[in-house]
Amino acid sequence: MSFESLGLAPFLLRALSEQGYETPTPIQQQAIPLALAGHDLLAGAQTGTGKTAAFGLPLLQHLGTAPQAVGHGPRKPRALVLTPTRELATQVHDSLRGYGKHLRIPSAVIYGGVGMGNQLDTLRRGVDLVIACPGRLIDHIERRSVDLSGIEILVLDEADRMLDMGFLPSIKRILAKLPKQNRQTLLFSATFPDSIKQLAMEFMRHPREVQVTPQNTVAEKIAHRVHPVDGGRKRELLLHLLAQDARVQTLVFARTKHGSDKLATFIEKAGIQTAAIHGNKSQGQRMRALSDFKAGKVKVLVATDIAARGIDIDQLPRVINFDLPMVAEDYVHRIGRTGRNGSTGEAISLVAQDEAKLLRAIVRMLNRDMDIRDVPGFEPQVPIRWGNSAPGKAEIPGGERAPRKPGGGRGRRPHGGGDGQRHAHAGAKTHGGPREGARKPADGRRRGGGGPRRDAQR
Ligand code: AMP
């Protein structure tokens, strides 16, 4: 399939070919014709699928071809894209500028954490397209520096993240300022919890649904590995893993801003170039850290979930969860940054006893097994108790408290963890499912599946 066959205008086709895009991605193939036909869209797609062009191209085509309603007074924005973070807003803005390079579409990117001055100037001059984070857009609405009554197309990008970040009330306030009639709404989200469905029911007209990634799944090409470790030794273990191959670019997730700063300093002191991004860093600092990481000048980027939203790094080989995310769905977002564009990736989680429950929730949501293995020298002093997980879902393998009688507890362990294999859970073997990640020996040291129960407790 070609971009031409999707019905895109020549000015866009030219820009796409100049950027080296040859074929549309699956989400583009599905979403573009429907959006060009004027339908509302509920699109399931993660970062890395080409979703920005999937909504951006129809949006630009509309702005470039549909005549602007003639009215009195200053120019009003005709299209609005809402994004959860400033990084994503900037990225979307840059992408749309690229796709729309043969059009003249004045635009503004609006986010908090920077002065109002430039944004006010741009809005005053008049724009057709606004890309905004909800919080700062509300500020502008309150100051009456933006008039949203002429919006013809609304895009909610990473809608699930916006709701997770508590933007629902802001989104509703913004929606109340938009025209109800003749508006097209495109909602993109990696996951579709009930809150999103509700929002869609309230604010969309007979939306068509398209989906490229089955809900809440991550690429099968990713190896998911878990290293049990005592909380107090996580930093040491992290260094050990990073030092094994310091050339591998690694995104490390920490839960708190303070924690990520401390961790970055610690890694840096060990001689590995590291940067941190989180909400307390200025926009400039975040941008610099990101571009240094993309350019390979820093090998390790430590990030909080929110700061990492929408980061677009192709072919990132490794993500390490220093802390597990509090919300299982964030695991999908974190890991969505590796193994993209068909490359393979590694997702490593350092898990202490107090995170066992979080890990269970993640495994349940992914519905796939993880490769759990001790790193020699870093085995937890008291073996981690994983407990049982919900019936009918993939679960954490055996664990130290696994039933000891052969077959004794198997009835409660639908996925065969009852044989007590704790290390390198042989999910693939016991389930026979396509779980390449679980099979792959990640560091060549040891493969568990089928090994004796305490094989790493030397
Ligand atoms: P996104 O999911 O929108 O963040 O896009 C992920 C990456 O894929 C970005 O770097 C895009 O520039 C790139 N991309 C999007 N669509 C295509 C395409 N059809 N062909 C090649 N690259 C693409």
| Residue range 76-135, pLDDT digits in tens | 999 999 999 998 999 999 999 999 999 999 999 999 999 999 999 999 999 999 999 999
Q: Which atom of ligand 1 is nearest to the CA of 314?
A: 10
Backbone phi, psi, residue 277, to 5°: -130, 130
| 319 against 72, higher pLDDT | 319
pLDDT at residue 27, rounded to an integer: 92
Q: Probe ligand 1: pick from 2, 6, 49, 157, max atoms within 8 Å of CB?
A: 49
**Is any ligand 1 atom within 6 A of the Cβ of residue 46?**
no
- pLDDT for 2-55, tens place per residue? 999 999 999 999 999 998 888 898 899 999 999 999 999 999 987 778 899 999
Q: Is the pLDDT of residue 416 over 60?
A: no
58, with CB counted inside 10 A (0-12, 13-18, 19+), is: buried
Q: Which atom of ligand 1 is nearest to the CA of 95?
A: 12
Q: Whose CA is nearest to atom 21 of ligand 1?
A: 21
431-439: average pLDDT:
30
**Is any ligand 1 atom within 6 A of the Cβ of residue 312?**
yes
pLDDT at residue 176, rounded to an integer: 96
Q: Which atom of ligand 1 is nearest to the CA of 23?
A: 19
Q: Is the pLDDT of residue 217 over 80?
A: no
**Is any ligand 1 atom within 6 A of the Cβ of residue 24?**
yes
Q: Is the pLDDT of residue 70 over 70?
A: no
**Is any ligand 1 atom within 6 A of the Cβ of residue 21?**
yes
3-state secondary structure the chain: CCCHHHCCCHHHHHHHHHCCCCCCCHHHHHHHHHHHCCCCEEEECCCCCCHHHHHHHHHHHHHHHCCCCCCCCCCCCCEEEECCCHHHHHHHHHHHHHHCCCCCCCEEEECCCCCCHHHHHHHHHCCCEEEECHHHHHHHHHHCCCCHHHCCEEEECCHHHHHHCCCHHHHHHHHHCCCCCCCEEEEEECCCCHHHHHHHHHHCCCCEEEECCCCCCCCCCEEEEEEECCHHHHHHHHHHHHHHCCCCCEEEECCCHHHHHHHHHHHHHCCCCEEEECCCCCHHHHHHHHHHHHCCCCCEEEECHHHHCCCCCCCECEEEECCCCCCHHHHHHHHCCECCCCCCEEEEEEECHHHHHHHHHHHHHHCCCCEECCCCCCCCCCCCCCCCCCCCCCCCCCCCCCCCCCCCCHHHCCCCHHHCCCCCCCHHHHHCCCCHHHHCCCCCCCCCCCCCCCCCCC
Q: Probe ligand 1: pick from 312, 315, 333, 340, max atoms within 8 Å of CB?
A: 312
- pLDDT for 159-215, tens place per residue? 998 998 889 999 999 999 999 888 999 999 988 888 999 999 899 999 999 988 544
**Cα separation of 130 and 134, whole Å?**
11
- pLDDT for 351-391, tens place per residue? 999 999 999 888 887 777 788 999 999 999 988 887 654 32
- pLDDT for 155-167, tens place per residue? 999 999 899 888 9
Q: Which domains, and CATH codes, for the chain?
A: 4-211 (3.40.50.300), 222-249+313-424 (no CATH)
**Is any ligand 1 atom within 6 A of the Cβ of residue 51?**
yes
Q: Is the pLDDT of residue 142 over 70?
A: yes
**Is any ligand 1 atom within 6 A of the Cβ of residue 219?**
no
Q: 216: pLDDT confidence band, cut at 50, 70 and 90?
A: very low
pLDDT at residue 435, rounded to an integer: 29
**Is any ligand 1 atom within 6 A of the Cβ of residue 25?**
yes
Backbone phi, psi, residue 200, to 5°: -65, -40
Rounded to the nearest integer, the mean pLDDT of the chain is: 80
**Is any ligand 1 atom within 6 A of the Cβ of residue 189?**
no
pLDDT at residue 100, rounded to an integer: 97
- Ligand 1 centroid to 68 CA: how many Å? 29
**Is any ligand 1 atom within 6 A of the Cβ of residue 150?**
no
The whole-model pTM stands at 0.57
- Ligand 1 centroid to 242 CA: how many Å? 29
Q: 69: pLDDT confidence band, cut at 50, 70 and 90?
A: low
Q: Is the pLDDT of residue 420 over 80?
A: no
**Is any ligand 1 atom within 6 A of the Cβ of residue 49?**
yes
- Ligand 1 centroid to 310 CA: how many Å? 13
% of the chain exceeding 90 in pLDDT: 52
- Ligand 1 centroid to 172 CA: how many Å? 30
